[in-house]
């Protein structure tokens, strides 16, 4: 009799443990008695760029405010798509409660994200998008708007006409596509001409090299529209290296506006303007907590932007 009772108790325990695991996957509280602590897996496409280091810092800081509720596991995909695909699948295997991903490229990351989402693991896609709608929430600034504002700004700056070099970001990622699209809208109807463009993959050394080619080919360049500040800076370095003083006449425009990067370049007169691209790290954690607590969140959360020029940099830029 005693044995049967023991066996029954044991069986009940096993069933219960199973329930706990299932609950965890659907975003309910984890097993620690008396304490809810959820595990969030964060896949960062690379940590080679200052903006991404800042994003992780923003996530870490926001998560620290809720250390009793969440724990974040960070993974760095080192700018390799296959590594990032594997990371998402690893998080699924681990049974994390929620995934945050800042994907390197849209198309190849769409499937792993959809797999997690279909298994009931909420996914927040941060900054760069995936395709379709198989994710919980996208958080990021409006890159079409940023591109359009940059275009409108250049039209004004150059008096409606001029020769421009466009140094694009990775064009298999959505911010690159959208910053280009918006820029074309912004300069539409003007006599601004894009005389040279290149996919610089968001990287300063590539932008520097591409700008060297542009400088060698074109005696007149009025402005550089770079999809991020590292690329704008790379272009500036190429112009300075050329040794003809063109770094002083060409206007360099960038995007990101990190305080110790783009904003500093504006202050130093290297960039004419930069547009803020917020990391969304804090918002990702706030949204993650809402999802984990069962609250409804919007499918899209759009973050704001600001322009920094030498006229407004000391006042903290101007919202757009
Ligand atoms: C960093 C970065 C930023 C850019 C963002 C776009 O990897 O290149 O400079 O604004 O990614 O996703």
Q: What's the pLDDT at 86? A: 98
The per-residue pLDDT for range 10-22, each reduced to its tens digit, is 444 444 343 333 3
Mutate to test the pocket of ligand 1, among 127, 172, 207 (most ligand atoms within 8 A of CB): 127
State whether the beta carbon of 97 lies less than 6 angstroms from ligand 1. Answer: no
List the one residue out of 51, 89, 158, 122 whose CA is nearest residue 289.
Answer: 122
State whether the beta carbon of 127 lies less than 6 angstroms from ligand 1. Answer: yes
State whether the beta carbon of 261 lies less than 6 angstroms from ligand 1. Answer: no
Residues 6+ apart with CB under 8 A from 271: 229, 232, 233, 236, 252, 253, 254, 262, 265
Domain residue limits, the chain: 28-141+279-303, 143-278+309-319
Q: What's the pLDDT at 1? A: 45
State whether the beta carbon of 52 lies less than 6 angstroms from ligand 1. Answer: yes
Give domain 143-278+309-319's CATH number out of 3.40.50.2300, 3.40.630.30, 2.30.29.30, 3.40.50.920.
3.40.50.2300
Q: How far is the CA of 238 from the centre of ligand 1 (A)?
A: 21
Task: Specify whether the CB–CB gap between 131 and 103 falls below 8 A.
Answer: no
**205 to 71, 222, 232, 234, 265: CA distances (angstroms):** 36, 21, 11, 6, 17
Q: Do 28-141+279-303 and 143-278+309-319 agree at the fold level?
A: yes
Q: What pTM, to 2 d.p., does this model score?
A: 0.88
State whether the beta carbon of 276 lies less than 6 angstroms from ligand 1. Answer: no
Low-confidence ranges of the chain (pLDDT < 70): 1-36
**114 to 3, 117, 285: CA distances (angstroms):** 47, 5, 20
Task: Specify whether the CB–CB gap between 165 and 235 falls below 8 A.
Answer: yes
Q: How far is the CA of 232 from the centre of ligand 1 (A)?
A: 13
**94 to 26, 46, 187, 300: CA distances (angstroms):** 13, 21, 48, 27
Q: How far is the CA of 167 from the centre of ligand 1 (A)?
A: 13
Residues 6+ apart with CB under 8 A from 15: none
Q: What's the pLDDT at 70? A: 97
Q: Which helix (H) or strand (E) holds 315?
A: none
Q: What's the pLDDT at 96? A: 98
Please state, rounded to an integer, the average pLDDT across all residues of the chain: 92
CA-based torsion, 129, 134, 138, 141: positive or negative: positive
Q: How far is the CA of 206 from the centre of ligand 1 (A)?
A: 14
The per-residue pLDDT for range 50-77, each reduced to its tens digit, is 999 999 999 999 999 999 999 999 999 9
CATH 3.40.50.2300 describes domain 28-141+279-303: yes
The per-residue pLDDT for range 143-186, each reduced to its tens digit, is 999 999 999 999 999 999 999 999 999 999 999 999 999 999 99
């Amino acid at each position: 009799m005693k044995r049967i009772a023991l066996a029954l108790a044991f069986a009940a325990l096993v069933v219960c443990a199973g329930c706990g695991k299932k609950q965890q996957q659907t975003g309910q509280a984890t097993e620690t008695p008396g304490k809810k602590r959820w595990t969030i897996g964060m896949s960062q496409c690379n940590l080679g760029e200052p903006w991404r280091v800042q994003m992780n810092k923003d996530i870490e800081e926001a998560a620290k405010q809720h250390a009793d509720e969440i724990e974040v596991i960070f993974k760095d995909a080192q700018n390799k798509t296959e590594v990032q695909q594997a990371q998402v699948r690893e998080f699924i295997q681990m049974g994390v409660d929620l995934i945050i991903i800042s994907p390197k490229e849209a198309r190849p990351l769409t499937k792993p994200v959809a797999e997690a989402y279909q298994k009931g693991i909420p996914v927040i896609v941060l900054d760069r998008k995936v395709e379709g709608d198989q994710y919980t929430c996208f958080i990021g600034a409006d890159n079409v708007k940023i591109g359009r504002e940059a275009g409108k700004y250049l039209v004004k700056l150059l008096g409606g006409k001029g020769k421009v070099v466009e140094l694009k970001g990775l064009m298999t990622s959505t911010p690159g596509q959208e910053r280009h699209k918006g820029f074309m809208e912004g300069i539409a109807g003007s006599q601004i001409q894009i005389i040279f463009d290149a996919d610089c993959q968001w990287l300063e050394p590539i932008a520097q090299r591409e700008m060297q080619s542009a400088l060698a080919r074109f005696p007149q360049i009025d402005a550089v529209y770079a999809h991020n500040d590292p690329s704008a800076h790379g272009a500036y370095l190429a112009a300075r290296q050329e040794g003809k003083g063109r770094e002083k006449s060409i206007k360099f425009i960038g995007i990101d506006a990190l305080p110790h990067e783009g904003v500093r370049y504006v202050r130093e007169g290297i960039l004419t303007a930069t547009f803020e691209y917020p990391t969304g790290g804090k918002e990702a954690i706030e949204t993650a907590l809402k999802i984990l607590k069962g609250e409804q969140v919007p499918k899209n959360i759009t973050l704001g932007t600001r322009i920094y020029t030498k006229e407004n940099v000391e006042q903290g830029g101007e919202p757009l």
